[in-house]
Chains A and B, each alone.
Chain A
Amino acid sequence: AQTVTQSQPEMSVQEAETVTLSCTYDTSESDYYLFWYKQPPSRQMILVIRQEAYKQQNATENRFSVNFQKAAKSFSLKISDSQLGDAAMYFCAYSGSARQLTFGSGTQLTVLP
């Protein structure tokens, strides 16, 4: 079974600074997808970024980028120029052949003004 681990329950960052959230996963599959979802206080799950395992290039979406290290099974999220609206719970998630998402336990990000 696949597992996803987020070892940082809480992180904080100063507005306009950069923060990196960590995620590791365990799988025996070679073809899979990884995602970061954002959950604000409204509890809506919002897709932030996705990475296909077969792509060597790290995904980027505006201020959000990932560092995908397939051999190390590591998938970190970097948020540049942090904004107050980035404050939320961030979940790392895995999707493989069974398609359903396996989530990590989340990292609560606080953005300090």
Chain B
Amino acid sequence: EPEVTQTPSHQVTQMGQEVILRCVPISNHLYFYWYRQILGQKVEFLVSFYNNEISEKSEIFDDQFSVERPDGSNFTLKIRSTKLEDSAMYFCASTVSDSYEQYFGPGTRLTVT
């Protein structure tokens, strides 16, 4: 069964460093999402991406964040200058065009020290 994959599973970085989180959505999916979950809290929407552009973004998704689909298969989330409060689990999700059912990857745990 096709699945969403994410790499790395765990990333440790120092405050102020740039990180890139990678996702490979399911191949025939057209809508892509990033969500964040701070430990012990609910899952929060960051950004959605369709047709090679951002379709929606939350207030969390400020200028420090960017997304890209560089090669037609990978979908990346970049955090330019990480802060301690960026420590969280980051989930990628994808869906086909006519479905609202989102399939989640296993997540990347980001630890900022």
Interface on A for B, CB 8 Å cutoff? 33, 35, 37, 42-47, 50, 91, 93, 95, 98-106
Count class of interface residues, chain B: 20 to 34
Interface on B for A, CB 8 Å cutoff? 31, 33, 35, 37, 41-45, 48, 55-56, 89, 91, 93, 95, 100-104, 106-107, 109
Give 15 new A-B contacts, CB below 8 A, not counting A95-B100, A100-B33.
Answer: A33-B100, A33-B101, A43-B109, A46-B104, A47-B104, A95-B102, A98-B48, A99-B56, A100-B45, A100-B48, A101-B35, A101-B45, A103-B42, A103-B44, A104-B42
> DSSP class of B's interface residues: helix, strand, loop or mixed?
strand
A47 to B33, CA, bound (A): 16
Closest to B45 in A: A100
A77 to B37, CA, bound (A): 22
Closest to B101 in A: A50
Closest to A46 in B: B104
Q: Are A45 and B91 interface neighbours, CB within 8 A?
A: yes
Q: Are B56 and A91 interface neighbours, CB within 8 A?
A: no
B101: A residues at CB distance < 8 A? 33, 35, 47, 50
A91 and B107 contact, Cβ closer than 8 Å, known pairs A99-B100, A100-B33: no
